[in-house]
Structure 1
Amino acid sequence: MKRFSALLAAAILGSLLTLGAYQYFFKPEQPVTVQYVSGTPISRIALTKDESGNTVPLDFTAVAEKVTPAVVHIKSTQKSKTTQPQYVDPFRDFFGPRNFGPSQSSGSGVIINANGYIVTNNHVVQDADVVEVTLFDNRTFKAEVIGTDPDTDLAVVKINQSNLPFLSFVDSDQSKVGEWVLAVGNPFNLNSTVTAGIISAKGRNIDIINRNNGEGNTAIESFIQTDAAINPGNSGGALVNLGGGLLGINTAIASPTGAYSGYGFAVPSNIVSKIVEDLIKYGTVQRGWLGVTITSVNSQLVKEHELEVTEGALITGFAEKSSAKDAGLKEQDVVVKIDNTPIKTSAALIEMVGRHRPGDKLMITVNRKGKEVTVPVVLKNRDGEVSVIKPEDKPVYATLGVTLEDLDAKTLKQLDLTNGVRIKALGNGKLSKYTDIREGFIITKVNDEPVKSVKEFNEIIKKKKAGELVILTGTYEDFPREFNYAFRM
């Protein structure tokens, strides 16, 4: 009996070991289960309040759907040009002049009017021969440049369409640091890209426009800074609030690589709207000037000038035709308020004045040796007038972008010439844009007509019609052979 029990126990134990080994080495496959849920499980969400004051999850979809149809892609093209090299090319007579293909750049724009008015950056359309606008639905149209303002890096173009979706300006003064915003544009030619972030700062001056016309820097920089991703191609795109209102035009990024690094800058809508109105109505910007030299107050200036305030814009000088000086403002005055708006930096002052036109009156409050004084100032234009400035009616020859000088008989004799005028300086214009002509070139003929003086050259060019071919014939002192440069008026 004992022997049987032992055998039975051994058999049971062997069966269990055999079953365990089978389960271990030959485990059957478990079925794969996929679950579907109606929502995405999350542990943390961003919240906001709706119009009724109820707390709801933050959602960008509605505003993205609203604003993307009003943001366009802009392609600017500079036509190809056939030119002669700046240097003397010994192979030119064998191979002919160089032929440069068209150059292109792209950016974004925002439709601000149902009839086709679009705001963008000046640097997006600057020097373009052809501007093309591609809408959200992929329709493409040629655009007319209505006007540009290099001082704010803004421009207005127009396409001949109606009933277009558009965005309305909102008061950028009411926006707050920390407020959610969306940046909409076409970075890297990726159409209709939407990114989200917050307003990181306001009133930023990053010295990127650098408009110096010989009378100091005339740029207006008081950017909205955002951490919404802005990349090349976003220029001219929209910065909007969660209501879909246009807060600014994306203009620049601060980056060591040229791509997004956490800092983007937009021109505030209160500046944009004024510039746009001027360009559409007058064809040029009606800019009011205080005629002052200013700097932001800091701790060092407080000590040096024994100032009684630690914020504001210190007046350090006046222009020749200064409306501020005429009104009674003085050097060492610190501007602390314009109308009812506090002024804490020079950028804030420039922005406030930049929103106004000649003839507008501002109530300017300054701190003068510890006392606040309010002075009414009527803004003037740079010429010291309060009248409307008309677009420059440049003579035709001025579009060439050259400064010429007459040659004396001695110089002509040394060059074995009987007539000619020399290019003294070469600036922005048709000659630098469409040819490789150099400073120092001596023009002897225009379309085979001899030129004896600068006055005579101007008279010949004045008679040329738009689109007419012009050939300048002449030579260089350092390479006395005949060159021809061709362009169209």
Structure 2
Amino acid sequence: MKRLGSLLLVSLLSGAITLGAYKLFLEPKSNTITTVAPTFSKNVSLGAENIDFTAAADMAVHSVVHVKNVSVRKVYNPIMEFIYGSRGGGMQQEQVGTGSGVIISEDGYIATNNHVIQDATQLEVTLNNNKTYKAKLVGTDSKMDIALLKIDADEKLPYMVFGDSEAIKVGEWVLAVGNPYNLNSTVTAGIVSAKARDLSNSGLQSFIQTDAAVNPGNSGGALVNTRGELIGINTMISSPTGSYAGYSFAVPSNITRKIIEDLMQFGNVQRGILGVEGSELNSAVADNLGVSQTQGFYVAGVTKKSGAEKAGIKEGDIIIKLDDKKVNSFSDLTSYINTKRPDDVINVTVIRDENEKIIPVKLSKKELLVYEANGIEFEDITNNDKQKFNVDYGIKIKSVTNDEYKGYANELEGAIILSIDGKRTSNAQSAAEYIKSKGNQKSQYQLITSNGEIMRAIL
């Protein structure tokens, strides 16, 4: 009993220790997103039992909302199909999905995931005080899985301030706030397990990985540091069962903030492109390439007309830093570029001939770049192309320089490629890299020609 009493006393004393005090954020003007945070005392390394999460949790729960997505789909009756031998028109059926969102301004702008609101015919947002509002969709970025909603409330709303996701460290404590399984205002804690995590192996994604428990319904919710600042939008989990199994992933706040500002200002996402292709370095890759550097990004090619080409970046350069950010992987590189816009200038530090060199590069606009493979130049399609050909994906053949295909240039140039080797294609750079990876092997293309005919070709 004495031992139990001692343990209880120690537990009570430990639980009484708190960390710091938090100041109130200044209210921003309408339609603005502030990243100004109050000044805090220097972080002290403490065990979990000595960190007080209550202030951060209290700020976060009032800014996280429940999002309901109502969509309509057609349902077919197999018995009627058997009797009448036709699927007919089917019956329309409402489908309801739920997720989370984060209020980012007092006048009702809300950040969430694209997959939370996808195909919605009606959106409804419920605040922490149980008030419900109809929401309208402002814009989306399906590639980074971010969407922006707007509600018109009759009061100033509690909102979350953006933190600097680049400043977080592996091992730092974070909170995940959302509505898993329709359980409103759920808060879980964990640590940052990794940064710049790319689950697609394409280098395009850059997630914050945590071990804070996240489940279905948490999507679109907030990943928060211990100061109550938004450092990520919870997006997915890694699980063989569909429920939490140890790791969850969030879109970093710096990328989220840039996407949201683009949607508010331009109506679409402005993507800046460096214009390099290549591979991450490690010991095996370095030995194969004959270089001594084992960290960084090896430039195997430079895209035509890109900022990298104009600035003088060359094949064989090793990129080790963008401005002050170290680059050890392709996702390190793209995570930083994803926070920039066309015409932004960044200082690229490269190793060339064993010497470091800093090269200022003006980022290009993605839509202006052309990618080449096997004597065919590809480019991404525009909104006008989508309307003209009545498609929502594909890439365009800009020109044919391969003598073997010159006789078919009239049919190929200007055509929209829908698939390559049976795989839907929507990104010119990825398509060019895939074709290059096959070497001399031919690929099968499904195309829509400039006069609207669907054709197949082996090139």
Q: TM-score, normalised by structure 2?
A: 0.70
Question: Which runs of structure 2 are paired with 1:292-331 in the superposition (5 Å)?
Answer: 292-331=276-315
Over 3 Å counting, the alpha-carbon distance change for 1:400 and 1:224 in structure 2 is: closer
Aligned partner letter, 1:201: A
Q: For 2:190 and 2:393, how far apart are their aligned partners in 1?
A: 47
1:102 matched to 2:66? The reply is no
1:176 counterpart (169, 178, 185): 169
Residue of structure 1 equivalent to 2:178: 185
Please give the root-mean-square deviation of Cα atoms over the aligned residues, in Å: 3.4
Over 3 Å counting, the alpha-carbon distance change for 1:71 and 1:398 in structure 2 is: farther
Question: Which runs of structure 2 are paired with 1:62-81 in the superposition (5 Å)?
Answer: 62-81=55-74
Q: What's the CA shift for 1:94?
A: 9.5
User: Identity, % of aligned pairs?
Assistant: 44
Structure 2: 5+ residue runs without aligned partners?
22-40, 370-381, 395-416, 426-450, 453-459
Q: What's the CA shift for 1:326?
A: 2.0
Structure 1 or 2, whichever has the larger Rg, is 1
Task: Indicate if the aligned counterparts of 2:148 and 2:260 stay in contact, CA closer than 8 A.
Answer: yes
Q: For 1:336 and 1:94, how far apart are their aligned partners in 2?
A: 61
1:380 matched to 2:364? The reply is yes
Q: What's the CA shift for 1:104?
A: 2.3
Q: For 1:396 and 1:314, how far apart are their aligned partners in 2?
A: 38
Residue of structure 2 equivalent to 1:195: 188
Q: For 1:396 and 1:83, how far apart are their aligned partners in 2?
A: 30
Aligned partner letter, 2:255: I
2:147 counterpart (155, 167, 172): 155
Aligned partner letter, 1:76: N
Determine helix, strand or coil for the equivalent of 1:158: strand
Task: Indicate if the aligned counterparts of 1:296 and 1:344 stay in contact, CA closer than 8 A.
Answer: yes
Aligned partner letter, 1:128: A
Residue of structure 2 equivalent to 1:50: 20
Residue of structure 2 equivalent to 1:125: 117
Residue of structure 1 equivalent to 2:233: 249
Task: Indicate if the aligned counterparts of 1:307 and 1:369 stay in contact, CA closer than 8 A.
Answer: no
Which sits farther off after the overlay, 68-77 or 376-385?
Answer: 376-385
Q: For 2:294 and 2:334, how far apart are their aligned partners in 1?
A: 18
Q: What's the CA shift for 1:400?
A: 7.4
1:275 counterpart (259, 266, 284): 259
Structure 1: 5+ residue runs without aligned partners?
1-35, 211-216, 386-390, 404-423, 429-453, 456-489
Residue of structure 2 equivalent to 1:444: none
Q: For 2:192 and 2:136, how far apart are their aligned partners in 1?
A: 33
Over 3 Å counting, the alpha-carbon distance change for 1:118 and 1:261 in structure 2 is: same
Question: Which runs of structure 2 are paired with 1:207-222 in the superposition (5 Å)?
Answer: 207=200, 220-222=204-206
Q: For 1:130 and 1:268, how far apart are their aligned partners in 2?
A: 28
Question: Which runs of structure 2 are paired with 1:345-384 in the superposition (5 Å)?
Answer: 345-384=329-368
Aligned partner letter, 2:11: I
1:290 counterpart (255, 270, 274): 274
Deviations 1:328-355 (A, max 9, x none): 1112211101112211111110011111
Over 3 Å counting, the alpha-carbon distance change for 1:425 and 1:342 in structure 2 is: closer
Task: Indicate if the aligned counterparts of 1:73 and 1:133 stay in contact, CA closer than 8 A.
Answer: yes
Deviations 1:51-100 (A, max 9, x none): 56798932222221111011011111212447799x99453379964214
Task: Indicate if the aligned counterparts of 1:323 and 1:384 stay in contact, CA closer than 8 A.
Answer: no
Deviations 1:22-59 (A, max 9, x none): xxxxxxxxxxxxxx9xx986289476642567989322
1:336 counterpart (291, 295, 320): 320
Determine helix, strand or coil for the equivalent of 2:62: helix
Deviations 1:446-480 (A, max 9, x none): xxxxxxxx99xxxxxxxxxxxxxxxxxxxxxxxxx
Q: What's the CA shift for 1:402?
A: 10
Determine helix, strand or coil for the equivalent of 1:351: helix
Deviations 1:359-380 (A, max 9, x none): 1111101112311121111111
Determine helix, strand or coil for the equivalent of 1:272: helix
Determine helix, strand or coil for the equivalent of 1:315: strand
1:237 counterpart (198, 218, 221): 221
Q: For 1:178 and 1:402, how far apart are their aligned partners in 2?
A: 40
Residue of structure 1 equivalent to 2:28: none
Q: What's the CA shift for 1:126?
A: 1.6
1:114 matched to 2:106? The reply is yes
Which sits farther off after the overlay, 253-262 or 75-84?
Answer: 75-84
Q: For 2:321 and 2:392, how far apart are their aligned partners in 1?
A: 42
